[in-house]
Structures are given as C-alpha cells and as structure tokens.
Chains A and B, each alone.
Chain A
Amino acid sequence: MTTAAAPPAEAAKAPRTRFRAPELSPRQNLVVAVAVIGFAIILPLFLDSGGNVMNNLVLAAAYVVMALGLNIIVGFAGLLDLGYVAFFAIGAYVMGYFGSGFWSNAGGGEGVHFLVGGPVENLPGIHFNFLIVLVLAVIATTIAGIIIGLPTLRLRGDYIAIVTLAFGEIIGRIAINGDEIKLFGGTLTAGRQGITPVDKVDLPFFERFQSLNLRPWYWLALAMVVLVLFVNFRLRDSRLGRAWIALREDEVAAASMGVPLVKTKLLAYGTGAAFGGMSGAFLASYLNTVNADQFQFAFSIFILAMIILGGLGSIWGVVLGAVVLSAINNYFIPDVFNDVPSKIGLDFDLTELSFGIFGFLLVIMMILRPEGLLPQRRRQLELEEGVGAEDAIEAKL
C-alpha cells in the first residue's frame, strides 16, 4: 500500500521543488559568503602562480562578475538581454582607449599620462590609472545600458530579446569595422588586429601587475566579485530589488502598485551593464588585447547560459553556474577532453564543438533540473505541512 502510494507522492512533489529551497537567513548567508570567499582567497597559494589553473581562475572570476551583472537584468528584472557582449566590448574599449598606445598622436605624440607610473609613463598614447579607467568603463556602460534599454521599454519578453540581440550585434560589427572609421587622427577601433598591448593593471600601493604572476590578477578579480556580490545581495533585499521582481512577475500589477516602469527597468539595465563594463575593462588588461573577434553573439549566450545553469535570479547559483561553465569552456574542453575525438579515431578539435556541448548540457539541465543548480531560494516555511501536506494526502487517495 505504502509502496504503491510512494511514486505518485514523489511525482506530486517534483514540480514544487522549484519554489521550495529555503532561503538563507542573512546570517547564514554571511557565513556562506565568508567561507566561500575565504576559500577563494587562499586558493592560489596552493597553485602555480603562472599556471593554467590560475589563468582559468582569473577568467572564471571575471565571468562571475559579468554573470552577476546580467543576472540583475535577466534574473531579477526578467528582461531577456541577448546582447550583453556589448557591455564587455564597451568596457574593453574604454580600457583600450585610456590604457594603451592606441591613440598614438595623443599629446602631440608624447602621450597623455594620468596617475600612472612605471614603464608606461613615457609611452605614447593615453594612459590612465586603472581605477580611473574602471570608473570610466562603468560610466560608459551604464549609459550604454540605458540607451539599449530605452527602445525596449515598450516591449515584452521575446521582443526585448530581439532588440538587445541586435544591439549586441551592432556593437560587435562596429568593433570589427571600426578600423575604417577615422577619428581624432586615429581609427575608432583596431578591428580584428586588436589593440595591443594594453596597460597592465596598476593599482595605488601595489606593484604593476605582471603577466607571469597571476595571483594579483586573481585577487583583483575576486575583489570585484565580492563587490558585485555585495551589491547584488543588497539590491535584491531592497525596495528596488522587490520592484524588479514584481516587474518580472507581473508588469501591469507592478505599475498599478506604484512601481515606475521606465525608471525601474532602466536602473536594471544600467546596473547590470555597469558590471559587464567593469569586467570588460579588467579582461582587456588581463588578456592584453582588445580584439573585435572577442565580441561575438556567442559570448552573450555563454554568459546567459551561466545564469540559466546556475538558476535564474539566484545569486549563489549564478556564481556556481559561471564557475562551472567557465571551467568547462576554458579547462575541460580544451585541456582535459580535447584528445578524446582522436582517441576514438575521429579527426576534429573538441573546442570546435564547445557550443554543441553547452547546448547539450543545457538540454540535460532542462530535463533533470530546470530550475538550475542552485535555484533561487525564496522562502519556504510550512510548505510541508501546508500545501505540501494536502498534495501528499491527495496523492495517497
């Protein structure tokens, strides 16, 4: 009797798991945060400071920043943005403009320098302190985020996706063809050749970062992650965060409850974009190039997949999703499993299949755990004895 009742009871439970996971109390959350971040801080001490793993950790941290930014737009406010790569691009170009020899005529060929030291001091081009570049990147992408937001204000769902997709493509095309657009005695972008070299990060009180010691890069990226995490948590549990979620749930009801749609949406776009720009500027410096080929549509999907994998709107889920996908993309596919095709007698490079593999993983996810690895933890309470109990009784009948 009981065994016969068990399967339907479980079947009745399955769809509810989406709403079930208990939310961490602020204190538990803090404990988790301190533990995770503490672990992340000491991790590099056990790793080769210039090695491949270290490199992947830096990239993963930078992707976490972007994923958390996109999570504000897509996860919180429910605005499906398929053009997030645009903010990566804009952030990276700000770094390229203000931290490289790209504007070789600036300052009459002598270069313009602002709060920079070391070897960069005497190079031509515009060279600003990294922190200033970071601020400029945030400002530029926030404005870009609002500009992309404006035409989508009257749209919903899929149509927002189309407009943002187009925006991402436009920025990508401009980046590729920008080397033919003459501007201030130079060109708009360096196209596919890329702006290189880009200044290494130069923070006050620290030595200029070096390409062989990746630990400082990692810690800086981690600091950005912590900042963005902090902002995410604070905003989620605020007036604005509630307005975003209300908007996602029901736009008409939200407006009727006094949530100004335009302002609330633009704040989501602007805030989310700012993090993309921050990470973009960092990556430009870290990768030592601002190359138009980086800014492809596939990158937007890559970041979006992180969010979906981790759990839309769930902050810790997004972090996990970003780390997992980044590891798969940068480590497992090219380094660990790359020789699998040749071993089984096939002649192709596994990296060419990476998007196929992501797609496959997402399909598997949608079947096994559609709510993501760590779904958004909204309050549970009494589900078992309340609604859950009724369902269980029904299932038994």
Chain B
Amino acid sequence: MSAQVDNILETVGVTKQFGGLTAVNDVSFAIPRKSIVSIIGPNGAGKTTFFNILTGLYKPTTGKITFDGANITGGRPDKIMALGVARTFQNIRMFGTMSALENVMVGQHARMKAGLFGSILRTPRVRREERQVREKAAEMLEYVGLAKRYHDQLAINLSYGDQRRVEIARALASDPKLLLLDEPTAGMNPQESDNLTRFMQTLRDERGLSILLIEHDMKVVMGVSENITVLDHGEKIAEGGPEEVRNNPHVVEAYLGKQASQEVGG
C-alpha cells in the first residue's frame, strides 16, 4: 500500500454485499510485483468471494481495484483475464469433454485473433496461430509435469492431481502477470504440496509471476508467502509476514475461538 512499493494489484475498501449479508467488508490490500502473497482465514471468511471480485465474476458493491495501473473494478472476467490475471478454482473446473491439450488451448483464447470467417476459411495466419497455440499448450503441460501420453486424454478422465496440473497450465498459458490460486493443495499429500510450493517459487523466479494464494495448509502458506492477509467474517483482521501473523492474537482467536485462544495464551 505504501507508495514506494511497485504493486501489481491494489484494492481499496472493497466491499461485497449479497442482500443483507456482507461477504467482504472494506478490504484494502496489495500484491507487490513478483511476490507470493496469501489470503488465509476460516471457512466462510470471504476468501473465495474476494477472489471472484478480483477476477470479475462478482462486481464489488463499493471499493476500487487497480491492476498494473489500470482500474479493473467491476470489469468483465474475460477482459480482466486478457489484462493478465489468471486463476484456478477451489473445486477444479475443467472442460471435461475436452482433452488436456484443448483445455490449455482455451486458456490462450484471449491471446488469439482468429475470428468467425478466418476460422471458416482457415487462412494461413489462422493456421499458423493454431499451430503455435497447440505447441505452446503442449509446452505448458510439460512445464507443469503432465506426462505426454495424457495430453490428448479427456480432462474428465485424468486423475485429481493431473487435473490440478492442467488447470494451472491452462491459467499459465495466457502468460498472466498475476496468478490466483484457490486452495491448490486441497486433496494433495504432503509430498505433492511440497512440490507445488517449489513450483510456485519457480514460477515467481523464472517467469516473474506474482502469485496470490488462498490456502488452508499452513505449512505451504508459511513456507512460501512473503505476505499474509487474514480474513475473518469478510474483514481483514491481520496482515504481515508469516511470523507476525502466526503470533497475532486476533488470528489465533479467529481460528481457535476466543476462549481457546485465551487458554493457549494463558
């Protein structure tokens, strides 16, 4: 939030109300460029709602969101995606009857130009674009570690872990500047979680990506995040580095309940 830091994304006072329910309340936060930032909080704290606001699936009731200098408040999801915000979903959302490769090709939709008539006539330009997109999709799948023999497999037939991989490849295929991962380690064993942690660091270091992570696995969160924001009942209750957040009494209280936290503290 401080002016001297180069932020890829900033939100100011973002609030989302569903009828009388305030799911996200006055949240201001920022993601410094090329950093990994996490949002944690108990179930129902508004983390995913906040994600959906950032990616344009929900329009915030009030507040402002700036991405890479552009105001994206209330923008359309596909436009926000085209600007460079890609995401994965908490419950994997594959295009089930498409192959892994095709899934990743869809991820490049915003980077392609072919229109209706170009596609029908299949002009040399369209043909070339199609080939490049296909090659890039294969490249991305290999990058996330999906074995070549699964590339043409229907997404619905892939194992859970492979579906997660394809989803990340699909998001990466659009060359995003910011990657939003919604509980990527859900359903993973510790070994796989470790791999993912390293993978996120590789993405940041090799590709210069900024990553925003929603995660319940504290080992992953504490291991990878430079900055952690804690939401509870839609409000930001704490913010800071891993150590800072871990020892914050509000955070302990949100997770364990007031009485328990006093017992721990006392």
Tell me which residues from 91 to 143 in chain B have a Cβ below 8 Å from any Cβ of chain A: 93-99, 102, 105-112, 114-116, 119-122, 126, 129-130, 133
Chain A nearest CB from B101 CB (Å) reads 9
The reply to whether A256 and B116 contact each other, CB–CB distance below 8 Å, is no
Name which residue of chain A comes closest to B173, CB basis.
A257
Name which residue of chain A comes closest to B87, CB basis.
A256
Bound complex: CA of A125 vs CA of B84, how far in Å?
58
Chain A nearest CB from B192 CB (Å) reads 19
- Inside 8 A of A245's CB, which chain B residues have their CB? 95, 97-98, 102
Name which residue of chain B comes closest to A390, CB basis.
B159
Chain A proximity mask over B138-181: 1 for CB below 8 Å, otherwise 0: 00000000000110111011000000000000110010000000
Name which residue of chain B comes closest to A242, CB basis.
B106
The reply to whether A378 and B98 contact each other, CB–CB distance below 8 Å, is yes
Interface pick from A87-95, A112-120, A231-239: A231-239
Bound complex: CA of A241 vs CA of B149, how far in Å?
24
The reply to whether B97 and A259 contact each other, CB–CB distance below 8 Å, is no
The reply on A386 being an interface residue by CB < 8 A is yes
The reply to whether A240 and B95 contact each other, CB–CB distance below 8 Å, is no
Bound complex: CA of A271 vs CA of B119, how far in Å?
13
The reply on B55 being an interface residue by CB < 8 A is yes
- Inside 8 A of A30's CB, which chain B residues have their CB? none
- Inside 8 A of B106's CB, which chain A residues have their CB? 242-243, 246, 254, 257, 259
- Inside 8 A of B78's CB, which chain A residues have their CB? 255-261
- Inside 8 A of A376's CB, which chain B residues have their CB? 97
- Inside 8 A of B186's CB, which chain A residues have their CB? none
The reply to whether A241 and B119 contact each other, CB–CB distance below 8 Å, is yes
With known contacts A249-B98, A256-B57, A243–B109 Cβ distance under 8 A: yes
Name which residue of chain A comes closest to B126, CB basis.
A238
The reply on B77 being an interface residue by CB < 8 A is yes
The reply to whether B97 and A242 contact each other, CB–CB distance below 8 Å, is no
The reply to whether A386 and B157 contact each other, CB–CB distance below 8 Å, is yes
The reply on B76 being an interface residue by CB < 8 A is yes
Name which residue of chain A comes closest to B170, CB basis.
A257
The reply to whether A231 and B120 contact each other, CB–CB distance below 8 Å, is yes
The reply on A252 being an interface residue by CB < 8 A is yes
Name which residue of chain A comes closest to B79, CB basis.
A260
Number of interface residues of A (CB under 8 A): 35
Chain A nearest CB from B130 CB (Å) reads 7
The reply on A250 being an interface residue by CB < 8 A is yes
In this complex, the member of A253, A258, A381, A382 whose beta carbon has the largest number of chain B beta carbons within 10 angstroms is A258
Bound complex: CA of A171 vs CA of B129, how far in Å?
41
The reply to whether B109 and A381 contact each other, CB–CB distance below 8 Å, is no
The reply on A332 being an interface residue by CB < 8 A is no
The reply on A14 being an interface residue by CB < 8 A is no
Bound complex: CA of A173 vs CA of B186, how far in Å?
55
- Inside 8 A of A337's CB, which chain B residues have their CB? none
Chain A nearest CB from B161 CB (Å) reads 14
- Inside 8 A of B150's CB, which chain A residues have their CB? 382, 386
The reply on B29 being an interface residue by CB < 8 A is no
Name which residue of chain A comes closest to B158, CB basis.
A387
The reply to whether B122 and A255 contact each other, CB–CB distance below 8 Å, is no
Chain A proximity mask over B60-101: 1 for CB below 8 Å, otherwise 0: 000000000000000011110110001101000111111100
The reply to whether A258 and B93 contact each other, CB–CB distance below 8 Å, is no
The reply to whether B99 and A379 contact each other, CB–CB distance below 8 Å, is yes
The reply to whether B153 and A234 contact each other, CB–CB distance below 8 Å, is no
The reply to whether B81 and A256 contact each other, CB–CB distance below 8 Å, is yes
Chain B nearest CB from A151 CB (Å) reads 19
With known contacts A255-B78, A257-B174, A386–B112 Cβ distance under 8 A: no
Chain A nearest CB from B124 CB (Å) reads 14
9 contacts between A and B (CB under 8 A): A234-B122, A239-B133, A255-B77, A256-B57, A258-B174, A259-B78, A259-B109, A260-B79, A383-B157
A-B pairs with lowest CB-CB distance, top 7:
A258-B110, A238-B119, A253-B93, A258-B81, A249-B95, A255-B77, A239-B114
